[in-house]
Structures are given as C-alpha cells and as structure tokens.
Amino acid sequence: MNLDRLTLTNFKNYAEADVALCEGVNCFVGNNGAGKTNLLDAVYYLSFCKSYFNPVDSQNIRLGEDFFAIHGHYGPDQASCIVRRGKGKEVRWAKKPCRTLSEHIGRIPLVMISPSDQQIITGGSDIRRKFVDGVISQTDHAYLDHLIHYTKAVEQRNRLLKQMWEDRLFDEAMLAVWDEQLCTHGDPILDARRRFVVDFAPIFRRYYSHIASVDEPGTIDYSPADAPLLEQLADCRQADKYSQYTNAGPHKDDFHFMLGPDMQVKRFGSQGQQKTFALALKLAQFEYIESHCGEKPILLLDDIFDKLDLDRIRQLIALVGSKHFGQVLLTDTQPGRVQAIIDDLPGLTHRLFTVDGGKVTDN
C-alpha cells in the first residue's frame, strides 16, 4: 500500500501542504525545525490515529487555529484524521467515519524508525511492551481488543484498591470480579506475546547479524510467570492491598534483549550495540508485519543518519531501496549527503523535497 498524496491543514507548523509522493524513496531535507519530522508524523497519524511524538492531539493543532486535518490518498482509497479543539477526533476511511479507532489500526501497515527508538533498549519495561503491543496490534485485531479491555480492567481494579484503602475496607469478593476480567483478556495477551517472540526472534537475529557485521548472538528473552494468571493475582493480594496497585499480569511483563545468555544489552551493551539492536528490531518489525498482513508497510526514517557513519547510511539506503522494501519516507539535514548516496544507487526510484518553514518544495 503506497501513499500517493498527503494533504495537511493546520497541522503543527503547516498552515497548508499538499505533497505528491513516489512509490520508492521520498527524501525530505532541510534545517532542524523546518518541519520534516512533522510530515512523517502526519503519515503516522493516518495509520495509528495518533502522533508518534505527542499523545495530546490538541497540542498538534497549529497555534491559533481550532482544528487540524490530515488526508492521505492510498490509490483509490482515502484516509483522514481530523481533530477539533474541544470536540475530539474523527478518523475516516474511504470517506466513511470509523466507529472505533481500533477498527482502523492495521488497515495501513507502517513502521517508524527514529532516534528515540533507542529508548526501546534503554528505557523502562513499559516502552518495550508498547513496542511489542504495537507490532502485534497491526496484525491481530483480536489482540488489540483484548489489550484495550485489559487496560481498562486494570485501571478499574486499581481504582477499587485505592478506594478500599481509603475506606479501610478490603473486599476480596469485589476484587474477584475484576480478576475474572483480567484473566479473560490477559490470558490471550500472554499467549499472543509468547507466539510473537517465537516468530519474531529469528527475523530479528538475521537483521541484527546483517547490520552488526559481526558474529554476535542477539536474542530476545520473554519469560512471563509460569503460574496461571488467576493464581498470580491471588498470590499478590496482600501486595495489592498495601500498594493500591495490581502487581501481577501482562502489564508487568518485560522483554529482555540479550547478547549471549547473561549479557543484557541495556546494561552492558555499547552505544553502537544498542543502536544496532534498535534498528534491527524495527527492520524485523517491517518483515513480520509484511508476512502477516500480505503487504509491505510504509517505512518512515526520521533523522537517523546523524547517528550512523556514511558506509552504514549507504548500506541502509541500498537495503530499504531494494525490492524487499516498499515505499520509504526519510528526513535528513544534509541534501548533499542524500543526493550523493542516491547517485551511487542507479535505478532507485526517488523524489527529493526541500522543507523550509512549513513549506515543501519538490526538487
């Protein structure tokens, strides 16, 4: 699925923009702060109904305006995301409103790679869960539904625990009602995550070996508790009572990225190894989604070249510009660097745009 045309109104620093894209590599070059990343974020909005960088929709409306609108043309179909200040968000596909946001997610497969991806390695477990949940949700609507219901059940259970603490009345029968909800939706989440790691790990190892160019055994370890979730919740009753928080369940999972059996990349990996791990995860995400959805995701590369040497940049552009990948949108601050790499890759379908102060010019 290719994005043929992107139209923006009042989105971030863009009053108006209308960009026609090619099916190959689309390069947006310009100074820092010119609005390159905002273009990629708009494309991300059309796939996930939210920003990659700022979860508060109203803060993505251009200063002084009451709404923003993003429209994308994917062949004969059109996706739209419209946010009105104080009135919420509307997502449309083929000009028809989507009943729920989850109905739309997965319709336009997409992978975003940015400098912040290193947080998947170095950040907290919530960031790693978010990454895994995002990959599975694009390929499995049932998983996304379970995740939404599970998250709401945890919030309700935590609210109940807090109320019980304030009232000095601990009622296990009331907690049992929410325990049942957690198990109904939590058990399928755990099963899906186990299957995901089994399928995803070999793909990841292949990309990691290719990018690292050394014999390093990059692996992913996912080891949730063996006991049934209902039993875990029962064992944590007293801990939940005093912490006023649900201490067992998929929302506590972590995924460990390893170099060998005992070496966590987060703790012992070099900066280069951490960056390589993050990039390999995202490229593996691309292949995993393609294999499950039957079509190539759109690939967004945001300002990642400043973190790589020229040889790795050339290797990456050659890789993503190959037939294995589909449409690519990338940003860079150095037009000469991008052009030189493209010139070294004859036959690469590409388009070069200059971005300056909320204006996009096709070169």
Q: Which residue has the tokens 């050339």?
A: 314
Cα–Cα distance for residue pair 71/348, rounded to 1 Å: 27
Tell me the one-letter amino acid at 17: A
CA separation for the pair 92, 97 (Å, rounded) = 4
Domain count for the chain = 2
Say yes or no: 268 and 342 in one domain.
Answer: no
pLDDT beyond 70 at 310: no
Maximum Cα interatomic distance, the chain, rounded to a whole number of Å: 73
What per-residue confidence (pLDDT) applies to 312? 65
46 and 132 together in one domain: no
283 and 300 together in one domain: no
Is residue 301 located within the same domain as residue 331?
yes
- In degrees, rounded to 5, the angle at the alpha carbon of residue 58 between the alpha carbons of residues 53 and 61 is 85
CATH of the domain at 255: 1.20.1050.90
Mean pLDDT of 135-140: 93
**Residue 27 and residue 91 share a domain:** yes
Reported pTM: 0.89
Are 200 and 186 contained in the same domain? yes
Q: Is 150 inside a domain boundary? A: yes
**One-letter amino acid identity for 53?**
F
Angle made by CA atoms 52, 363, 335, in degrees to the nearest 5: 65
Q: Which helix (H) or strand (E) holds 82?
A: strand 77-84
The yes-or-no verdict on residue 338 having pLDDT over 90 is no
Same domain (yes/no): 128, 234: yes
Residues 100 and 146 in one domain: no
- Residue 317 sits in which domain range? 1-109+295-363
Determine the average pLDDT of the residues in 42-61. 95
What tokens does 317 get? 């552009």
Q: Establish if 128 belongs to a structural domain.
A: yes
Q: What would the pLDDT profile of 206-241 be if each residue is shown by its tens digit?
A: 888 887 766 677 889 998 988 999 999 999 999 999
360 and 276 belong to one structural domain? no
Those residues with Cβ within 8 angstroms of residue 189's Cβ, 6 or more apart along the chain or in another chain: 143, 146, 147, 150, 250
Closest-CA residue to 133 (of 81, 179, 188): 188
Distance CA 355, CA 334 (A): 12
| Long-range contacts of residues 224-232, Cβ cutoff 8 Å, at least 24 apart | 224/190, 224/193, 224/194, 224/250, 224/253, 228/183, 228/187, 229/182, 229/183, 229/186, 229/187, 229/190, 230/179, 230/183
pLDDT of residue 62 exceeding 80: yes
pLDDT of residue 347: 75
CATH of the domain at 302: 3.40.50.300
Q: Do 89 and 123 sit in the same domain of this protein?
A: no
Supply angle C-alpha 57, 58, 61, rounded to 5.
Answer: 100
The Cα 201–Cα 319 span in angstroms is: 20
Note whether 145 and 237 are same-domain residues. yes
Do 207 and 339 sit in the same domain of this protein? Answer: no
Q: How far apart are CA 237 and CA 132, in angstroms?
A: 28
Where among 233, 267, 293 does a domain terminate?
Answer: 293
**Domain membership flag for residue 164:** yes
Determine the pLDDT at residue 314: 67
